[in-house]
């Protein structure tokens, strides 16, 4: 057992982190196995979500998770699972009561500015690096 105060604290932190990391990894394995046993869109979404959580917590590297998600997507495609995009409910638009405008006596036409042609800029040529003189 450590004697130094900072080492004691570090040991406590390590225990907490290990428990958290093991829990996240267990959730990933459970979600992945559940999807493999019964491939559904909901199970795929849950597995992807668990993998994304691991990246966010810096438990797994981004490319590792991308590889695993691609493998799950391939299994889903072979099983015929529709990979639908998750759509959030559209926010309700609250209509504001607008007072009607007073009728104008003159109808002035609004002129629009002519559209300018967009021209692509030429890429800037890089100068070669200057060589250092040797002595």
Total tally of structural domains belonging to the chain: 1
pLDDT tops 50 at residue 66: yes
pLDDT at 130: 72
Contacts of 82 (CB under 8 A, 6+ apart): 41
The per-residue pLDDT for 90 is 47
Establish if 70 belongs to a structural domain. yes
- Residue 98 resides in a domain: no
The residue with greater pLDDT, 83 or 71, is: 71
CA distance 81 to 12: 44
Residue 27: which domain range? 5-79
Residue with tokens 């493998």: 71
Closest among 25, 30, 28, 64 to 49, alpha carbons compared: 28
Residue 32 domain-assigned? yes
Report if residue 58 sits inside a domain. yes
pLDDT at 97 exceeding the cut of 70 = no
pLDDT band at 61 (very low <50, low <70, confident <90, very high): very high
Which has the minimum average pLDDT: 64-73, 101-110, 124-133? 101-110
């Amino acid at each position: 057992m450590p004697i130094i105060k900072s080492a004691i604290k570090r040991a406590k932190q390590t225990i907490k982190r290990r428990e958290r990391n093991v829990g996240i990894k267990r959730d990933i394995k459970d979600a992945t196995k559940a999807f493999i046993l019964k491939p559904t869109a909901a199970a795929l979404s849950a597995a992807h979500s668990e993998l994304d959580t691991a990246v966010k917590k810096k438990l797994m590297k981004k490319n590792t998770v991308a590889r695993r998600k691609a493998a799950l997507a391939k299994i889903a495609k072979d099983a015929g699972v529709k990979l639908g995009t998750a759509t959030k409910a559209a926010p309700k638009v609250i209509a504001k009561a607008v007072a009607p405008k007073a009728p104008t006596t003159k109808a002035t036409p609004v002129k629009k500015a002519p559209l300018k042609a967009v021209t692509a800029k030429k890429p800037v040529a890089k100068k070669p690096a200057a060589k250092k003189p040797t002595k």
